[in-house]
Amino acid sequence: MTDFPTSIWPALLVAVPITFALGTVFFAAAGRMWSGLAGSVATTLVSALAIAAAVREGGLIHHLGGWEPPLGILLRLDPLAAVFIGMTALTGIAVSFYAASYLRSQDDLPRGASLFWPLWLMLWAGLNGMFLSNDLFNLFVAIEVVGISAVGLAVLSGKPPALMAGLRYLLVAITGSMSYLFGVALLFGAYGTLDLTLLSAAVEPGATTVFALVLMTLGLMAKSAFFPLHFWLPPAHGSELPPVSALLSALVVKGSFYILLRLWAEVFGVSLTFAAGQLIGVCGAAAVIWGSWQALNQDRLKLIIAHSSVAQLGYLLMVFPLLILAPGTAVAVASDWTSSAWTAAVYQTLSHAFAKSSLFLAAGVIVIAAGHDCRESLLDLVARRPMTAFAIGLAGISLTGLPPSGGFFAKWMLLKAAIASGQWWWAPAVLAGSFLTAGYVFMILRLAFAPGNSDTENRPVPRGLESAALLLAVASFFIIVPAEAVISFLESSAPFGSAIVPGEGGVLP
């Protein structure tokens, strides 16, 4: 892991968005937009170049301050981090252009709305820092950067429901990060290091490790809105400005999932048991059923999409039981399904990020056109806003998991892993989730095709808004085209593909 070559790219992935974020502070609203857009383009370029370099070299590292761990902090851009950074860049650039157009065309926004730009670029830097960090305490600081800027974005609309949801989100976030930090303190006390690589070599089973595992897992689950700690998400994501909902649901909740995945696969393997995996899998299955059911029963489009996030995040949790080997299973045999399970985790993350951000952006278009997002706003959408209706259709198909979308590939891999590992009991939950998702997606589409009444308003919408939503919906389909290359890149380095052997830790088959 540390045998990757040293490079400046990991440092630039954090420094560039922050440089532009600081720049935007000095401008008034219009200048903020242009400098913010420039920052988004620059960060996307840096991400692309950094990923290209990582593909060439297999991975990159950067010793901050020139100090080796455990004294210093290591940034490492390995394949898994590269894929998440790529996801952030693609979603980020599309949402940035959408936001520029949206913030300029809306005149009922509070004056502070132009603070979107510094907060969003800080958030971007924090996310990149989270994906790159190889240090437990630095992860805490990155989590806080992401958490505070995310809540700052969430309350930009300035309306009381958004402020209320934001306050609750913030309290959950603070509680979650304190819980995480207590785990960090215990691990530091027990093993004298914060570096993930050194820690994974040093960690031993015992009460302290188990307790740290529980605290950190619960803290991160709360921040990711994993069932049953999801209660804050629907009101928050349902009341934000559309570009913010897109960013928060696509990227921010994935950040803490990424940390959770890494911690389980790289650090806590020795203390995990088969039962722990089953428990978290049950949470996932319950989230899929409960979230989809709730989505079916919502009246407002944004709330349907927000509840759907709870369900789609549940699929990510169902990956964990498939990574942990039952007692007596040989690691060599497990390679059949661990690789599928990891693929499912990555592809579910990517397809949900693109599909969900596309849906929130499309919902924003509908709110502009119709003035609200109740069911009637969807009537006759196909005729009035064909591009937006098409985006909703594509994104909905990907969420449901119909071929040939990215969401289909993720769910297919999840089913394959469940059957191959003998844990067939996850399959009904995956299928039921898809049926329920199909239910609310077709409910939306049925309304979109239904003839509208003439009094439905249809105000003009800037072209760029619809294009951004469509671009992301298309992306959620086309990610399966390079699937083979992406997976072989990911497989070149741990933890991707490793199985968690209880009592031993993550092992590559």
Partner 1 sequence: MSVWIDILLATLSVALAVRCLTAPTLAQCVFLFFAFGLTLALAWARLGAVDVAIAEAAIGAGFLGVLLIDALRDFAPAKEATVEDAEGYAAGGSAAEGSAAGVPLRAGRAALPLLPLAIAAVVFVLLTAEAVLNVRDGGGLTELAQENLARSGVDHPVTAVLLNYRSYDTWLEVGVVLIALLAIFAVGNGGTFARRDHVTHDPVLEPVSRILAPVLFLIGGFLLFLGKYEPGGAFQAAVLWGAMGILLYLAGWPVMTCLPRVWWQVLLTAGFGVFMLLGLAFMSGGGAWFEYPLAHAGNLILLIETLAALSIAAALTAIFAFFHEMHAPDATETPEK
Partner 2 sequence: MNAMETYQIYLTASAVLFTTGLAGVFMARHFFRRIVATKIMGAGVFLSLVSFAERDALEFADPVPHAMVITGIVVAVSAAAFALALARRIHQLTGEHDFTTDS
- Enumerate binding residues for partner 1 (CB under 8 A): 6, 8, 11, 15, 18-19, 22, 25-26, 62-67, 70-73, 110-113, 115, 118-119, 122, 129, 137-138, 141-142, 144-145, 148-149, 151-152, 155-156, 158, 163, 186, 188-193, 202, 204, 206-208, 210-212
Of partner 2, partner 1, none, which one sits near residue 425, judging by CB under 5 to 8 A according to partner kind? none
DSSP code of 503?
Answer: T
Which residues are registered as beta bridge partners of 501? 505
CB 8, min distance to partner 1, A? 6
Q: Where are the alpha helices (DSSP H) in 371-462?
A: 381-384, 386-400, 406-420, 426-449
CB 308, min distance to partner 1, A? 27
- CB nearer to partner 1: pick between 239 and 340: 239
Token representation of residue 37? 């857009």
- Strand ranges (E), 149-303: none
- Greatest CA separation for the chain: 69
CB 249 within 8 A of CB 308: no
For 62, the 3-state DSSP assignment is strand
Of partner 2, partner 1, none, which one sits near residue 235, judging by CB under 5 to 8 A according to partner kind? partner 2
- CB nearer to partner 1: pick between 75 and 323: 75
For 77, the 3-state DSSP assignment is strand
Could you tell me which of 307, 461, 300 has the C-alpha nearest to residue 399?
A: 307
Of partner 2, partner 1, none, which one sits near residue 160, judging by CB under 5 to 8 A according to partner kind? partner 2
CB 107, min distance to partner 1, A? 14
CB 150, min distance to partner 2, A? 11
Burial environment of residue 227 by CB neighbours within 10 A (0 to 12, 13 to 18, 19 or more): buried
- CB nearer to partner 1: pick between 206 and 422: 206
Residue 374 CA, chain-centre distance (Å), reads 27
Distance CA 52, CA 57 (A): 9
Which residues are registered as beta bridge partners of 60? 77
Of partner 1, partner 2, none, which one sits near residue 228, judging by CB under 5 to 8 A according to partner kind? none
Distance CA 438, CA 436 (A): 5
CB 148, min distance to partner 2, A? 6
Could you tell me which of 385, 402, 411, 382 has the C-alpha nearest to residue 477?
A: 402
- CB nearer to partner 2: pick between 164 and 420: 164
Token representation of residue 281? 């899998």
CB 230, min distance to partner 1, A? 21
Of partner 1, partner 2, none, which one sits near residue 175, judging by CB under 5 to 8 A according to partner kind? partner 2
Burial environment of residue 196 by CB neighbours within 10 A (0 to 12, 13 to 18, 19 or more): buried
- CB nearer to partner 2: pick between 165 and 366: 165
- CB nearer to partner 2: pick between 52 and 171: 171
Token representation of residue 136? 């437990």
Of partner 2, partner 1, none, which one sits near residue 156, judging by CB under 5 to 8 A according to partner kind? partner 1
CB 173, min distance to partner 1, A? 12
- CB nearer to partner 1: pick between 13 and 100: 13
- CB nearer to partner 2: pick between 235 and 277: 235
Using CB under 8 A, list all residues that contact partner 2: 71, 137, 140-141, 144, 147-148, 151-152, 155, 160, 163-164, 166-168, 170-171, 173-175, 178-179, 181-182, 185-186, 188-189, 192, 194, 231, 235
Of partner 2, partner 1, none, which one sits near residue 278, judging by CB under 5 to 8 A according to partner kind? none
CB 248 within 8 A of CB 239: no
CB 307, min distance to partner 2, A? 14
CB 185, min distance to partner 1, A? 9
Distance CA 207, CA 210 (A): 5
Of partner 1, partner 2, none, which one sits near residue 22, judging by CB under 5 to 8 A according to partner kind? partner 1
Amino acid at 458: N
CA-based R_g, the chain, Å: 22
Token representation of residue 183? 């785990």
Residue 427 CA, chain-centre distance (Å), reads 23
Of partner 2, partner 1, none, which one sits near residue 297, judging by CB under 5 to 8 A according to partner kind? none
CB 194, min distance to partner 1, A? 9
Of partner 1, partner 2, none, which one sits near residue 164, judging by CB under 5 to 8 A according to partner kind? partner 2
